[in-house]
Chains A and B, each alone.
Chain A
Amino acid sequence: MSKNLRVKTSKFIDETYKVSFKFNGTTYYGYKGDTLASALLANDIHLVGRSFKYHRPRGIMTAGSEEPNAIVQLHNNTSRTEPNVRATEIEIYEGLEASSQNCWPSVNFDIGGINNFLSPILPAGFYYKTFMWPANFWEKYEYFIRKSAGLGKSPTETDPDIYEHKYIHCDVLIIGAGISGIMAARTAAKNGFKTLLVDEKSYLGGSTIYQNSEQFKINNQISNSWLEKEINEIKKFENLEIKTRTSVAAFHGYNFLLARENLTDHLPLDQRINKTRQRLLKIRAKKVITATGALERPLIFDNNDRPGILLSSAIEKYANLFGVACGEKNVLFTNNDSAYETAISLYQKGINIEAIIDNREEIDSKLIKETEKNNIKIYKGFTVVNTFGYKRINKISIMQLSKDGQKVVGSKISIACDCLGISGGWTPAVHLFTQSGGKLKFRDEDQVFIPDIYPSDQISIGSCNGDFTLDEIISSIPNKLKEFLNIKKTDYENLEIYSSFNKSKRNIWLLPSDKVIGKTKPFVDYQNDATAKDIKLALREGFRSIEHVKRYTTTGMGTDQGKLGNMHALGIISETAGSKMGELGTTTFRPPYTPLTFGTIVGRNVGEFFDIFRKTPVHDWHVKNKAEFENVGQWKRAWYYPKDGENMHEAVQRESKAARDSAGILDASTLGKIDIQGTDASEFLNRVYTNAWSKLAIGKCRYGLMLNEDGMVYDDGVTTRLDENHYIMTTTTGGAATVLGKLEDYLQTEWPELDVYLTSVTDHYATISVCGPSSKKIVSQVIPELDFSDESFPHMSFKNAKIDKIKCRVMRISFTGEHSYEINVQANYGKSVWEKCMEAGKEFNITPYGTETMHLLRAEKGFIIVGQDTDATMTPIDLQMDWIVSKKKYDFIGKRSLYRSDTIKDDRKQLVGLLTENPDEVLEEGAQIVADIKKSPVEMLGHVTSSYYSPNLKKSIALGVVRGGKNMMGQKLIIPMENKQINVTVADPVFLDKENKRLNA
């Protein structure tokens, strides 16, 4: 039967609202307002998990987002399961189910705990040293490591929740709603700034809001009641937006920040339906005020990780905010005044304190005197040397510190306890500041890093700036705000502050012990089980850089990013290596500050919204006619149209044959189309294409090849001269946007004198290509008014026409080698014109074909596909397309590169045709091509770029690039495959109708 450690009502807890939840299968009760951690502690449960490496029992350590130990799995075996949730952050709700991570079979009896006894042989770098060799054993090691060291389970089902992204623009963003943030928010809002105040917690006021003590007063009011009034004030401003449960994850340059707003995680499950769970805020702030506070430091001594050992400030928070005692026999261990604040809070709540152990010898602040008044025993100049109790602390032993703090003296004293609060002073939470590019400086007097150089329009105020005491905070803020916001006055001038806190601190990074370091376990990084011993070992082994020590010992590499222990790691390194803290630097803090869910990161961009997809105007027809689709960039293109249970191969063979035997029809609407106008349009085309354009007659079409300045093929397509100063250029489907961008670049930056206007019209037209021997008869029926005779309408020409009053452009051009026509019509008429063609083509067995057949047909004809047969290392000469490179033109993009020493080499990879010895054997695209298989190492001459079985030629055909291939006509080469070698002969890449009889037929 567990105890009830709820001590006294707290106004933050609603005791009329009982909440039941399950932890490791057992049902417990808490109240609305509790976190999972406070509710567990109220039930006297400290043991919540096992450590990563040694599987040591671990308890709740903190009361905030810096928690290293109390990491739980929520809602196991459901689609909402979530690993690595900090019990100190999750608010309890009806139906909450949580379980411990990293233990098997249970947190109370854990097999991996054996590692703890093996720990002498598990030092820093153990995994690196042991499992590195032999390399092929890694698979076996990994199995065992993963099994015994899991960090939670990821869900296996789709996340059922809704997430979204939101942009926010504001004048002033304030991060942290503690006393500093509240003062800043009121000042900014009052001066008319559009202000956003965010805090990761569910309430405002930070730690001051539960600081209910006569020892801290502002204008003669206890600090928390003063702050409460301020909070009520700021809620009145319309230009101030307040977001709680909102944690800033990243602070990027130019004051761009990402924050996660938790909207439903605290609600009972049945109240979350159809609500957005989390929102990723993308904040662009003109000014940022960071008021993220400070994190209490632990103390580093032997066995400082037992359940029941918490930060002293956490114990205070559990008592004051949640009304929960963390133990019945409490001991506090400190090197500064903070623990006395805790002591007074506990005393006020009637919670028993056995003793306070203080590193300092001479202390006499008002706070300490007040504590002594309450008859609490203080051991001055003492340190804890060891703790006892396996699953919960039950005893500590303490010894006196030597004058220099290097060793312990005298005899050991034992003190029984069930809870130990530790305080090593405070570390400013500078994580976000450094993420933004800020530079820190080290303050020797209290051994802290504080903001120094700001990279953008921002300031840090309050304890994240190293101003820890109430009087420091309140006296420094008005001037800072006035300067930063450029205002004359604030409401906080000359406040009267009473603060009993004395700043003296005795900082010892690694406390001495009566044992040698090798026999102790002083944990620096709780989550990753890195001890001071490991850090010293890393230094002994020669690691010097803090970044290297971090990786070797894994210090600071857990989900908590070492928020608690990083400073101690630095301190121990600096002491051991004899270097100065300020010179050592810190490790880099990287976003996110606390882990984000994948859901938050992707927002609404899931499922069909993952990426946009573009549909052609004929798309619905393809769907209705059971086309299989292929993604080409963002386009959905009809791939093939299987009939009566055909597979892809069968469908493509049928489609290809039909296109050459009678008629085929292709939706080519995805081709890029650029409208080019202006008096210099011809000159412009001359400069961007390799061939000559000035003499192209109006109404004629020409194929063009576009290069990069390096001479490599960039894009191709047919351009038609519509009028004297008017062309329409087609590009490859994938190149449409980049070609336009490239042309614009040249026009704006190199040739601004040219009178040329470019407009992308890709989406404005549907393009329907009808090919095959019957194509003329079909288009004649569709457009009866047009003269399709070869004399009037030869290959590579264009005519304007009308189909039932609808204007269209008809080009006689071909990508298949067949006699064919392309009808371009305003996009919204695309489907009806397509259907007209289908109707007219019925008697000719018109067969719709997709991209696969298109690829096959053009390969038969030896037409290249840029991006498939080329890869940005192919010149037109490599492609055996010398015919398209003008010798007469003085210049065009890439011309000079075509006779660089490298591009004129004979042994460049060149495009060739490949014919297999066995005509039924189809090569694999991407397969390597070699000449001599016995040579070692085998010399790769090139690879297969396109390969098909041609139903029209009744044999396998392929294109490939082969080193020096141009001069290898007829030569035999080998394609080595996994289980066989395929013999091929180098051939002309044009396999069909080299004389273009079909085109002109």
Chain B
Amino acid sequence: MFVINCPFCGEREQSEFKAGGEAHIIRPKQPTELSDDQWAEYLFMRKNIKGIQFERWVHTHGCRKWFNVVRDTSSDKIKAVYKMGEKPPSE
């Protein structure tokens, strides 16, 4: 069970959080203009990386805020956390 450093509350047990899949997938502003394939790209296509992955998490049993996490999926080590709207760390 991880310890996740919520950017709003600090370190808490993983059981207080829920994972929300890949980060930085932005809902298209004009879905009606998209082809089936383009819409499917947004809707279904997700990366499943062994290694560094950018993910969304929410502090469900805490502040209920969504934020981003950089996690190494092979070691479960969390490299960084940052708020929604902030730029992902570069390295």
**Chain A residues packing against B (C-beta within 8 Å):** 252-254, 256, 284, 437, 455, 709-710, 741, 744-745, 748-750, 752, 890-891, 895-897, 900-901
Contacts and interface: CB of A to CB of B under 8 A. Distances in A.
A891 B31 contact: yes
A748 B27 CA distance: 13
A750 B58 contact: no
A895 B31 contact: yes
A709 B43 CA distance: 7
A335 to B, nearest CB: 38
Given A745-B58, A749-B56, A254 B1 contact: yes
A710 B43 contact: yes
B66 interface: yes
Contact of A896 (B31, B64, B85): B31
B4 to A, nearest CB: 9
A928 to B, nearest CB: 29
Interface of B: 1-3, 13, 18, 20, 26-27, 30-32, 34, 36, 39-40, 43, 56, 58, 60, 64-66, 75-76, 84-85
A741 B76 contact: no
Given A745-B20, A745-B66, A752 B85 contact: yes
B27 A750 contact: yes
B34 A896 contact: yes
Given A252-B1, A253-B2, A748-B66, A455 B75 contact: yes
Contact of B64 (A744, A750, A891, A900): A744
A896 B32 contact: yes
Contacts of B56: 749
Contact of B39 (A254, A745, A900): A900
A778 B45 CA distance: 55
A752 B13 CA distance: 27
B75 A897 contact: no
Contact of B3 (A254, A745, A901): A254
Given A284-B3, A891-B31, A897-B43, 13 more contacts: A254-B76, A709-B27, A741-B18, A744-B64, A745-B58, A748-B84, A890-B32, A891-B32, A895-B31, A896-B31, A896-B34, A897-B39, A901-B36
Contacts of B27: 709, 750
A710 B31 CA distance: 12
Contacts of B64: 744
Contacts of B66: 744-745, 748-749
A741 B84 contact: no
A752 B86 CA distance: 13
Contact of B75 (A437, A710, A744, A901): A437
A741 B58 contact: yes
B3 A749 contact: no
Nearest to B56: A749
Contacts of B1: 252-254, 256
The 4 closest A-B pairs by CB, nearest first: A896-B31, A748-B66, A256-B1, A750-B27
A67 B84 CA distance: 54
Given A744-B64, A750-B27, A895-B31, A253 B36 contact: no
A862 to B, nearest CB: 30
B36 A900 contact: yes
8 contacts: A252-B1, A741-B60, A744-B66, A745-B20, A745-B58, A748-B84, A749-B84, A895-B32
A582 to B, nearest CB: 22
Contacts of A901: 36
A895 B84 CA distance: 25
Contacts of A455: 75
A891 B34 CA distance: 12
A253 B32 CA distance: 45
Contact of A752 (B2, B36, B84): B84
Contacts of B39: 896-897, 900
A897 B39 CA distance: 8
B2 A254 contact: yes
Contacts of A752: 84-85
B74 to A, nearest CB: 10
B31 to A, nearest CB: 4
B42 to A, nearest CB: 8
Nearest to B67: A748
Nearest to A748: B66
B76 A253 contact: yes
Contact of B65 (A253, A709, A748, A897): A748
A887 to B, nearest CB: 12
Contacts of A741: 18, 58, 60
Contacts of B20: 745
A878 B29 CA distance: 26
A885 to B, nearest CB: 14
B40 A900 contact: yes
Contacts of B18: 741
Nearest to B75: A455
Contacts of A256: 1
Nearest to A437: B75
A489 B34 CA distance: 67
Contacts of B85: 752
Most B C-beta atoms less than 10 A away, residue of A253, A455, A710, A750: A253
Contacts of B75: 437, 455
Query: Which among A252, A437, A896 has the greatest number of chain B C-beta atoms within 10 A?
Result: A896
Nearest to B26: A750
Nearest to A892: B31
A873 to B, nearest CB: 15
A745 B25 CA distance: 13
A455 to B, nearest CB: 6
A254 B64 CA distance: 23
A752 B66 CA distance: 11
B66 to A, nearest CB: 5
Contacts of A900: 36, 39-40
A710 B36 CA distance: 12
A193 to B, nearest CB: 18
A714 to B, nearest CB: 14
A749 B25 CA distance: 10
Nearest to A455: B75
B5 to A, nearest CB: 11
B43 to A, nearest CB: 6
Contacts of A253: 1-2, 76
A636 to B, nearest CB: 23
A415 B44 CA distance: 74
Contacts of B40: 900
A741 B43 CA distance: 19
B15 to A, nearest CB: 10
A744 B60 CA distance: 11
A709 B28 CA distance: 11
A757 to B, nearest CB: 12
Nearest to B32: A896
Contacts of A750: 26-27
Between B31, B32, B64, the greatest number of chain A beta carbons within 10 A of the residue's beta carbon is seen for: B31
B12 to A, nearest CB: 11
Nearest to A747: B66
B82 to A, nearest CB: 13
A129 B39 CA distance: 52
A900 B27 CA distance: 17
Contacts of B13: 284
Contacts of B34: 896
Contacts of B43: 709-710, 897
A723 to B, nearest CB: 25
A741 B65 CA distance: 10
A751 to B, nearest CB: 9
Nearest to B31: A896
- Of B20, B30, B43, B84, which is in contact with the most chain A CB atoms at under 10 Å from its CB? B43
Contacts of A897: 39, 43
A710 B44 CA distance: 9
B32 to A, nearest CB: 6
A728 B18 CA distance: 26
Contacts of B84: 748-749, 752
Contacts of B76: 253-254
A946 to B, nearest CB: 30
